[in-house]
Amino acid sequence: MPDMDEFLEMFFVECDELLDSLATGLRAMEAPDHEKETVHSVFRAVHSMKGAAAAFGLSDLVTFAHRFETVLDLLRSDKLTADEEVMTVLHRSSDLLTDLVTAARQSSAADPVRLEELLGDLDRLIGDEGDDAEDDALAMEFTPLTLDFSPLAGEPAITTYKIVMMPDPEMYRTGNDPAALIHALSQLGDATVTLNATNVPKLSVWSQDDTRLSWEIKLATTAPVTDIHQIFEFVVDCCQLDIHELSDVVAQPAPADSLAEPELPAPGEPVSDLAPSDVEATSKAATPVEAGASKAGQTTGQAATIRVSLDRVDKLMNMIGELVIKEAMLYQVIETAGFTEDPDVVTALEGIRQLAGDIQESVMSIRAQPLKLVFQRMHRILREAADATGKKVRLDTLGENTEVDKTMIERLIDPLTHMIRNSIDHGLEDAVTRQRRGKPQEGTITLSAAHRSGRVQIEVSDDGGGIDRERVRRIAEERGLIPQGATLSSNEIDSLLFLPGFSSKDEVSALSGRGVGLDVVRREIMALGGRVMIQSKEGEGTTFSIALPLTLAVLEGMLIQLRDQTMVLPITAVQETLRPTSATLHGIGKNGRVLSNRGELIPIIDLACSFGLRDAPAPLDDGVLIVVETDSHKRAALHVDGIFDQRQVVIKSLEENYGRVPGVSAATILGDGKIALIIDPEEIVLSSLSEQGRSAMAFAANG
């Protein structure tokens, strides 16, 4: 028998999915013309969680889920209307349910005060509309039950499943026999078979390519539902199948349900999450054939997913990285041997390169997850922040299905949380000011995501007052972050917000007293290889944009030469490359050199000097200039000895293997087996500017 922990882990994984659909459903319910099915799905999510929680003796969770479910049931039966007040309670309940699950996961207890408070709120809703006596009776039945998972746990309860099977012609063609399947089912328990032949036509119009027979099997068994699925494992894709649990008593105690299936169903399988009334509806509304048909797509879809541990995917990703390196090495060897002119070799090599690229992309798509997972959480953050500040705020999300690497999903939560809080706390004006400015009382925060030229762009924008640049400047001066009266552009003032210790709020509010500043947001985003930018328009609002790479594993880079070293410059920072002419070069001061480029004078940085490969800047007539731009829109021209190539390189962390090196973000292995450092242009430019006596600004933008 598998470990108890394993069951519990499965339960939590399932809970995550249920909580997710719960939150989505609740938001859909806010729409005035939402479908009744939405309420049903929300109800089912809570119901399923309650049932499973009872099996693990999580009494807080069960008690709360039950009360929550009762309210949902009232909504379902139109005894209660989902007005704003009710929805607020429902949202909070959903949040608390998440907390309770988290608490159970960490074997701790959720906030008892909040639990009591919400139980009270729910009770009030039930008390207003529902039948208290009935509720009490239900509550009695739902007393949580602790399960003993040892084999001596006594007689397991019998569960009845209704299985509707409608074979496709493909199933007969492959020699799969319904009789054998039914026989296997009857080995599990007591099976009652009903054949539905009503749709079979007369022989003259009959065709074996259009199968019409379907079977409905009622199976009373003590076996877990997974055993049933196992029987159909080989025919799921050539047979329309619908398996669900029959519970004919409306108030059947959930613990009993769970007893019958100690092995929790794999999440997503339509097993125990069908509420009794839905079972009735299905059997009344449709013949078994139709019911089977309607669920068919769903069943096949579920069978097509597997759970794989992240370790394995990471390992695969690493190996792909090695493959890319080996491919580069192979190319180098072939080049050295002088075969690059041979069209066969070139074609074969190109094929391998293409394939390696495709594999890499596929693995990346395995790791990719929709940002929805992060965005979902922000609704709650927003609600809490809105409560804390007393502002009315709405969150609009766009592009939730944009996918990014799984690692990024996890690491985006904190920065986005802070940005949302920041937008509500500092960005949005209070209701009175908004009214005076002719804006709707309710503020809007828009969270959007999109793929943009090989990067993921996430934006948090508010329709608030915009950045008060005068005030930001004053505060920065007061705190000694910038010299008094320094000349700063609007962009430079905006980036002061990212300074450590900068807080524009005069008094520390409940939200901002958390010790996290925008500087942490910036550092975290930069650690992900991303950039943060601010755009603000006075009176109209502020937009924070985050641009992230699609993956943390590979990078499109420019291979450059610095003396005898090869280094990699991330292509995202590069604006243009050019050979300097005397007309575009100007000297400033003793050693200063600037490039006149597109109507702007930009400093020239000798990269070989920055890395200590050369003592004095080389003459500019040989070599190439690469114009780069930083987050704070600072531009600089990097002087390098030459450009080799542009290619994808596999990122190998330096910090993990060696230590942090200023101006270098990571390393990679080249085709010839040599290690090349990946340059962090941001750091190079800013540290170089600070040498030129602008340390304060570098500090400001660097965080």
Partner 1 sequence: MPELKLPEVLDQRGAQIVATQLLDRLGEEMDLDACNLTRLGGAGLEMLIAAHRQWQEDCIRFEITNLSPSILRVLELLGVDPQTLRVEVQK
Which residues contact partner 1 (rule: CB under 8 A)? 167, 169, 171-173, 175, 177-179, 182-183, 186, 193-195, 197, 200-204, 206, 208, 211-213, 215
Among residues 127 and 201, whose Cβ is nearest to partner 1? Answer: 201
Q: Which two tokens stand for residue 481?
A: 């972050």
Minimum distance from CB of 194 to partner 1 (Å)? Answer: 5
The total number of residues written for the chain in this structure: 703
The answer to whether 60 and 97 have CB atoms below 8 angstroms apart is no
Minimum distance from CB of 202 to partner 1 (Å)? Answer: 4
Virtual torsion, Cα 421, 544, 662, 569, nearest 10 deg: 150
The answer to whether 546 and 459 have CB atoms below 8 angstroms apart is yes
Q: Which two tokens stand for residue 587?
A: 């000297």
Among residues 64 and 215, whose Cβ is nearest to partner 1? Answer: 215
Among residues 193 and 609, whose Cβ is nearest to partner 1? Answer: 193
Among residues 28 and 184, whose Cβ is nearest to partner 1? Answer: 184
Minimum distance from CB of 180 to partner 1 (Å)? Answer: 9
Minimum distance from CB of 193 to partner 1 (Å)? Answer: 4
Q: What gap in Å lies between CA 343 and CA 284, rounded to an integer?
A: 68
Minimum distance from CB of 414 to partner 1 (Å)? Answer: 56
The three-state (H, E, C) secondary structure of 82-131, written as one string: CCHHHHHHHHHHHHHHHHHHHHHHCCCCCCHHHHHHHHHHHHHHHHHHCC
Minimum distance from CB of 219 to partner 1 (Å)? Answer: 13
Minimum distance from CB of 181 to partner 1 (Å)? Answer: 9
Minimum distance from CB of 172 to partner 1 (Å)? Answer: 4
The secondary structure of residue 143, as a DSSP letter, is -
Q: What gap in Å lies between CA 62 and CA 51, rounded to an integer?
A: 8
Among residues 177 and 691, whose Cβ is nearest to partner 1? Answer: 177
Minimum distance from CB of 232 to partner 1 (Å)? Answer: 14
The secondary structure of residue 213, as a DSSP letter, is -
Q: What gap in Å lies between CA 375 and CA 379, rounded to an integer?
A: 7
Minimum distance from CB of 226 to partner 1 (Å)? Answer: 23
Among residues 19 and 166, whose Cβ is nearest to partner 1? Answer: 166
Strand partners, 219: 161, 191
DSSP string of 599-644?
TEEEEEEEHHHHTTS-SSPPPTTSSEEEEEE-TTS-EEEEEESEEE
Residue linked to tokens 């690692």: 407
C-alpha distances (whole Å) from 644 to each of 128, 561, 568 are: 75, 7, 10
Q: What gap in Å lies between CA 124 and CA 114, rounded to an integer?
A: 15
Minimum distance from CB of 201 to partner 1 (Å)? Answer: 6
The secondary structure of residue 691, as a DSSP letter, is I
Among residues 216 and 631, whose Cβ is nearest to partner 1? Answer: 216
Among residues 167 and 570, whose Cβ is nearest to partner 1? Answer: 167
Residue linked to tokens 């000297």: 587
Q: Which two tokens stand for residue 250?
A: 């409306």
Minimum distance from CB of 236 to partner 1 (Å)? Answer: 16
Q: What gap in Å lies between CA 256 and CA 158, rounded to an integer?
A: 9
Among residues 171 and 231, whose Cβ is nearest to partner 1? Answer: 171
Minimum distance from CB of 191 to partner 1 (Å)? Answer: 9
Minimum distance from CB of 163 to partner 1 (Å)? Answer: 12
Among residues 137 and 195, whose Cβ is nearest to partner 1? Answer: 195
Q: Which helix (H) or strand (E) holds 695?
A: helix 695-702
Minimum distance from CB of 208 to partner 1 (Å)? Answer: 6
Among residues 201 and 297, whose Cβ is nearest to partner 1? Answer: 201
Q: What gap in Å lies between CA 391 and CA 431, rounded to an integer?
A: 7
Among residues 193 and 388, whose Cβ is nearest to partner 1? Answer: 193
Q: Is 404 left (phi over 0), alpha (psi -120 to 50) or beta?
A: beta
The secondary structure of residue 269, as a DSSP letter, is -
How many CB atoms within 10 Å of residue 510?
13
Minimum distance from CB of 48 to partner 1 (Å)? Answer: 31
Spatial CA neighbour of 193 closest among 216, 161, 176, 159: 216
Among residues 213 and 345, whose Cβ is nearest to partner 1? Answer: 213
Among residues 171 and 654, whose Cβ is nearest to partner 1? Answer: 171
- Tell me the helix, strand and coil percentages in the chain, rounded to 5: 50, 20, 30
Termini Cα distance of the chain: 53
CA neighbours closer than 13 Å in the CB half-sphere of residue 530: 29
Instruction: Find all residues with CB under 8 Å of 390, minimum gap 6, and list them.
Output: 430
Among residues 140 and 203, whose Cβ is nearest to partner 1? Answer: 203
Spatial CA neighbour of 400 closest among 24, 56, 45: 24
Among residues 203 and 304, whose Cβ is nearest to partner 1? Answer: 203
Among residues 175 and 589, whose Cβ is nearest to partner 1? Answer: 175
The answer to whether 619 and 568 have CB atoms below 8 angstroms apart is no
One-letter amino acid at 432 equals: V
C-alpha distances (whole Å) from 106 to each of 110, 398, 439, 599, 659 are: 10, 33, 44, 59, 34
Minimum distance from CB of 173 to partner 1 (Å)? Answer: 6
Q: Which helix (H) or strand (E) holds 487?
A: none
Q: Which two tokens stand for residue 368?
A: 């990719």
Q: What gap in Å lies between CA 627 and CA 580, rounded to an integer?
A: 11
